[in-house]
Amino acid sequence: MSDYKTLLRTSRFDVVEMQLPSHDGQVHHRAYIRHPGAVVLLPLLDDDTVVLIENQRTGVGETLLELPAGTRDPGESELETAARELTEETGYTAGDLRVICEFYSAPGLGNEKMHLIVAHDLTPGEQKLEATERIVTRLIHRDEIEKLVRSHAIRDSKTLVGLQSYLLGCLN
């Protein structure tokens, strides 16, 4: 990354300004988000049942149907973040967690790299929500997932990536 200055530091990410040279020799200033990375989980109760969450999202003023996800804490591996977030948001713990793929959530806005992690061998438990989280767990069958995706009822990008990987059988 080229030189940058921090415009805003938050508990989860920084907003930085970068200087970008253009083709005509001028220097342009652009703001981007610097992010520590995140995980999105595909929790499978069985081959045909996925654990999703209804998540109240204040940024868009809606409750979205999503896969569980979360930001990595400093020094935390992707699998550690996945185990923590799965329990926090759904109450489930997983006997098996595997990274399926990685992708950038919005490369035009920042560098947040997400890891899609499939969770198998789930054991139910109690949610451990953060104070501001409003999350309800839903168990959704494969047939309903396809209908939800096709009808545009799911509009969260990380969830679409995860569910389309699931529907296409890309979990190896």
139 belongs to a structural domain: yes
Report the domain count for the chain: 2
Same domain, 92 and 30: no
Q: What is the CATH number of the domain that holds 134?
A: 3.90.79.10
80 belongs to a structural domain: yes
Same domain, 75 and 153: yes
Same domain, 77 and 14: no
Same domain, 135 and 69: yes
Structure tokens, 116: 């899609």
pLDDT tens, 57-109? 988 999 999 999 999 998 999 999 999 999 999 999 999 999 999 999 988 88
Q: Can you give the pTM of this predicted structure?
A: 0.88
Same domain, 26 and 93: no
Find the range with the poorest average confidence among 22-26, 39-43, 159-163: 22-26
Q: Whole domain around residue 21: which residue ranges?
A: 4-34
Same domain, 14 and 75: no
pLDDT tens, 118-136? 999 999 999 998 888 899 9
